[in-house]
Homo-oligomer: A and B are copies of this chain.
Amino acid sequence: MVGSMYKFVMPEVIFGSGSIAQAGECCERLGARHVLVVTDRGVMDAGWTEPVLKSCRAAGLAAVLFDQVTVNPTDEEAAACASTYKEHGCDAIICVGGGSPIDVGKAAAALVTNGGHIRDYEGVDHILHPLPPLVMIPTTAGSGSEVSQFSVIVDSERQKKMTIVSKSLVPDIAIIDPDVLATKSARLTATTGLDVITHAIESYVSIAATPMTDVQAKNALAIAARHLRPSVASKYNKEAKEQMAIASLQAGLAFSNAILGAAHAMSHTIGGRYPFLHGDINAVLLPHVMEFNLIACPEKFREMAILMGEGVTGLSAIAAGEKAIQYVKKLAVDIGAPLTLSEMGFQADAIAAISEIALTDACMITNPRDISAEEVAAILKRAL
């Protein structure tokens, strides 16, 4: 560490039961008068846009809704969202939803002050002008997008998820209300929870990890390992939901500042072609990527095994690290996550093309072990 330099950025965080009601007041404090609320139909149906709109009215703000967001949102959705913002003369954005509405809201924010096509901002630090005020309300404990400097958007022409990384994408305020998580299905709790675990693990072993991100990643991993199973088991386990919300937040802070690795690089590429849930793809890929990465940082793998509650006394770092990998495999089985790409509908003949594209994803740069297209393909074959 001596001699290196790093940055750490995060939004203001408001955490707690009932905090969703502060959305309007937060925007008002940021100087907004006319808010665009970005969401999707599932969140609307679950009833979580209503308290947000109500809080805007209570704060004396006009609000308009954009709810045309899909599971793996595209450049076209981002452009449509930006148009709605401009048409209605908006001056701030609230996103309510999982990673998808949050990513679309961020991309639209970049477009309204920077112009062009969202493709222009793919990669690291290409957004030059400041964004309008952004207030984020996650409805899943998973994406971490509410605190991150990332937006992941499908380029519909190239059928590829673009990773856009810029400090400007860090929202102003993240409102994390664990009550909101109670309406998620066990299936969605499992998949988003495995995304949290993937964020924690990939950011911890990232070559861009720092003492500031390690503390968040390690804490997130320990909490998620203890509380994900109980959270999947019962929608009434409020303590488990709250703990998973904390884990998601801390994993988000870790990966926003340390970036991710090969599992996310591959997952973004697959998600650009198939309508799979992001967390499902990560869940399947993670243990295979861990097996590949183990030799890069065995001591970190040993530490992860300890954080997940495995006994490692008397074991070498490699043997302890293997227990971390076994832990992740067993966890996916226990909570009913998919275990192979095939069962989701993935076609083996896409492997060559996907491997080449995955290599160009921004998340691949920080993977702890150097990787070739052949090695990516081999991992995908093992995950079939």
15 A-B pairs with C-beta separation under 8 A: A1-B242, A2-B242, A4-B17, A5-B15, A5-B16, A5-B17, A6-B15, A7-B14, A8-B12, A8-B15, A12-B167, A15-B210, A211-B246, A212-B249, A215-B219
Q: Does A9 contact B (CB under 8 A)?
A: yes
A12 to B210, CA, bound (A): 14
Please measure, in the bound complex, the distance between the C-alpha atom of A9 and the C-alpha atom of B172, giving whole angstroms: 10
Number of interface residues of A (CB under 8 A): 31
Cβ–Cβ contact A16 & B6, under 8 A? yes
Measured CA separation A86–B360 after assembly (Å): 51
A10 vs B10: C-alpha distance in the bound complex, in angstroms?
7
4 interchain residue pairs of minimum CB distance: A5-B16, A8-B13, A9-B12, A215-B219
A10 to B12, CA, bound (A): 7
Counting CB contacts under 8 A, is A203 at the interface? no
Q: Measured between C-beta atoms, what is the minimum distance from A174 to chain B in Å?
A: 10
How many copies are assembled? 2
CB under 8 Å from chain B, chain A span 1-55 = 1-10, 12-19
Q: Is A273's CB within 8 Å of the partner chain B?
A: no
State which of B5, B210, B215, B219 has its C-beta within 8 Å of the C-beta of A18. B5
A282 at the interface (CB under 8 A from B): no
Tell me if B17 and A2 are in contact (CB < 8 A): yes
A140 within 8 A of B: no
Chain B residues closer than 8 Å to A14, beta-carbon distance = 5-7
Decide yes or no whether A269 CB sits under 8 A from chain B: no
User: Which of chain B's residues has its CB closest to A7's CB?
Assistant: B14
Is B211 in contact with A2, judged by CB distance below 8 angstroms?
no
A212 contact from B2, B4, B15, B18, Cβ within 8 A: B15
Partner of A216, one of B5, B15, B215, B246: B215
Residues of A201-248 contacting chain B, CB below 8 A:
210-212, 215-216, 219, 238-239, 242, 246
Partner of A16 from the list B4, B13, B167 (CB cut-off 8 Å) is B4
B13 touches A212 (CB 8 A): yes
Tell me the complex Cα distance, A1–B17, Å.
Answer: 10
Query: Is there contact, CB below 8 Å, between B1 and A19?
Result: no
Contact B239 A2 (CB under 8 A): yes
A137-185, CB < 8 A from B = 167
Task: Please measure, in the bound complex, the distance between the C-alpha atom of A103 and the C-alpha atom of B116, giving whole angstroms.
Answer: 43
Give A259-311 interface residues, CB cut-off 8 Å to B. none
| CA distance in complex: A7, B14 (Å) | 4
Complex CA distance for A259 and B124, rounded to whole angstroms: 36
Q: Which residue of B has the minimal Cβ distance to A5? A: B16
